[in-house]
């Protein structure tokens, strides 16, 4: 819906205003990470200092939470990539009975509010008397991360010319060779992007995790505890700054990976 003339000034202002609204709060966090005031959220900050970064570095509980978050995110992403790719392979190219239902099922964990997923899992763990552990967290994370990988993979598979797989088989490559030589190379960047998004999603997740983690703390859970009962506010801000940076990079990378993709398989048109 491209328009040839320029936009009205009000529209431009409204759009810019909206975008600023989205981003200013994050900038504020940056500011507050340097404040000298420890007990409140006073604005403007009375002074600026770097000491909180050092303090955060020294806190063992932060490191433990970070480690857990990273491990959970890594394993969940791997599982999600496997399951998401398989599902995408089935759905993207063939028509079968119940195809829409499958799509719905895959989306459901992320479509329904997190609290439903969280409490369902917790109720199920209770019923089956499974103790909370690293794996209960992973179970929850992998389940809603599947859809992220799945969406990316399906979008890429749909865009690729369908005859590529047929062409490969026509020339003598069996299913496995075709997957290795034709499908995977074309899918690789989409999978990578999906994986990165899944990682970011898992790393940041708190709603479901509070239900499935038992006594353990991932980084977001640590932050939530601090928010409700703050110990050293600026330290929380420092961690927040770190989390912003840590999720910013994978998302940017994922975006660039899926952007270049206008070149399809040599259409004759």
Partner 1 sequence: MTLDKAVLDSVEAAQPEAAANPIAVRFQQVARHFGTVRAVDAVDIEIRAGEFFAMLGPSGSGKTTCLRLIAGFEQPDRGHIEIFGEAVEGVPAYRRNVNTVFQDYALFPHMTVLDNVAYALRVRGMARGERHAKARKALALVRLEGYDDRRPVQLSGGQRQRVALARALVGEPKVLLLDEPLGALDLKLREQMQVELKELQRRLGITFVFVTHDQGEALSMSDRLAVFNDGRIVQVGTPEEVYDRPRNRFVAGFVGASNVLEPAVAEALCGRRGLYSLRPERIALVGPGEAAGAEAVAVEGRIDSLQFHGATRRLTVAVPGATLVVMLTAALARPPRVGEVVRLAWPRAALQAMDES
Partner 2 sequence: MADAALPLRAVESGGGLLRRLSDLLVTRPRLMLLVLLGPPLVWLGVVYLGALFALLLQSFFSIDEFSGLVRREFTLRTYGELLQPANLDIIIRTVTMAASVTLASAAIAFPIAYYAARYARGRWKALFYLAVMLPLWSSYLVRVYAWKLILAKEGIVTWIFAELHLTWLLDGILALPVIGGPSLSISYLGTFLVFLYIWLPFMILPIQAALERVPASLIEASGDLGATPRQAFATVILPLALPGVVAGSIFTFSLTLGDYIIPQIVGSSRLFIGQAVYTHQGTAGNIPLAAAFTVVPIVIMGFYLWGARKLGAFNAL
Q: Give the binding site for partner 1 (CB under 8 A).
A: 161, 163-164, 166-174, 177, 181-182, 185-186, 263-269
Per-residue burial over 50-65, b = 16 or more CB atoms within 10 Å of its CB, e = otherwise? eebbeebeebeebeeb
Which helix H or strand E contains 198, and what residues bound it? helix 184-204
Tokens of 135: 């794996």
218 binds, among partner 2, partner 1, none (CB under 5 to 8 A by kind): none
| Partner whose binding site includes residue 255, from partner 2, partner 1, none (CB under 5 to 8 Å by kind) | partner 2
Dihedral of CA 223/228/231/237: which sign? positive
Q: Name, in order, each residue with C-beta under 8 angstroms of 199's C-beta and a sequence gap of 6 or more.
A: 73, 74, 77, 250
CB 101, min distance to partner 1, A: 20
Using CB under 8 A as the binding rule, the residues of this chain from 209 to 238 that contact partner 2 are: 220, 223-224, 227-228, 236-237
60 vs 10: CA distance, rounded Å: 51
Q: How far is the CB of 49 from partner 2 (least distance, A)?
A: 17
Q: Give 100 or 129: the residue with its C-beta nearer to partner 1.
A: 100
Q: Pick out residues in 172-211 that bind partner 2 (CB under 8 A).
A: 172, 174-176, 197, 200-201, 204, 206-207
Residue 253 binding: pick among partner 2, partner 1, none (C-beta 5-8 Å cut-off by kind)? none
Query: Is 119 a binder of partner 2 (CB under 8 A)?
Result: yes
Indicate which of partner 2, partner 1, none lies near residue 201 (CB less than 5 to 8 Å, by partner kind): partner 2
Minimum Å distance from CB 268 to partner 2? Answer: 25
Please provide the DSSP assignment of 22-64 as one string.
Answer: HHHHHHHHHHHTTBS--SS--SS-S-B-SHHHHHHHH-HHHHH
DSSP code for 182: I
- Tokens standing for 30? 């940056």
Stretch that binds partner 2, among 1-9, 59-67, 156-164, 183-191 (CB under 8 A): 1-9
Contacts of 130 by beta carbon, 8 Å cutoff, 6+ apart? 124, 136
Quickly count: other Cβ atoms within 10 Å of residue 153's Cβ: 24
In whole angstroms, how close is the CB of 187 to partner 1 at the nearest point?
10
Q: Which is nearer to partner 1, 214 or 261 (CB)?
A: 261
Considering beta carbons, is residue 186 or 210 the nearer one to partner 2?
210
Candidate ranges 57-65, 68-76, 112-120, 182-190; the one touching partner 2 (CB under 8 A): 112-120
């Amino acid at each position: 819906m491209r328009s040839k003339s320029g936009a009205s000034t009000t529209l431009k202002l409204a759009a810019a205003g909206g975008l600023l609204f989205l981003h200013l709060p994050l900038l504020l966090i940056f500011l507050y990470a340097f404040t000298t005031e420890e007990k409140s959220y006073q604005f403007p900050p009375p002074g600026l200092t770097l000491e909180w970064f050092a303090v955060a570095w020294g806190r063992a509980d932060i490191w433990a939470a970070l480690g857990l978050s990273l491990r959970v995110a890594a394993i969940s992403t791997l599982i999600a990539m496997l399951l998401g790719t398989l599902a995408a392979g089935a759905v993207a190219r063939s028509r079968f009975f119940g195809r829409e239902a499958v799509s719905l099922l895959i989306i459901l964990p992320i479509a329904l509010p997190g609290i439903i997923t969280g409490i369902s899992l917790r109720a199920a763990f209770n019923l089956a008397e499974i103790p909370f552990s690293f794996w209960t967290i992973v179970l929850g994370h992998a389940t809603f991360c599947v859809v992220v990988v799945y969406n990316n993979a399906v979008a890429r598979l749909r865009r690729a010319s369908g005859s590529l797989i047929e062409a490969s088989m026509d020339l003598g490559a069996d299913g496995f060779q075709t997957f290795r030589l034709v499908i995977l190379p074309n899918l690789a960047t989409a999978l990578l992007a999906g994986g990165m998004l899944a990682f970011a999603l898992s790393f940041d997740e708190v709603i479901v995790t509070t239900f499935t983690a038992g006594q353990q703390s991932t980084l977001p859970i640590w932050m939530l505890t601090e928010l409700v009962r703050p110990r050293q506010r600026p330290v929380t801000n420092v961690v927040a700054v770190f989390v912003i940076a840590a999720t910013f990079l994978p998302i940017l990378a994922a975006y660039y990976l899926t952007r270049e993709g206008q070149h399809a398989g040599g259409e004759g048109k």
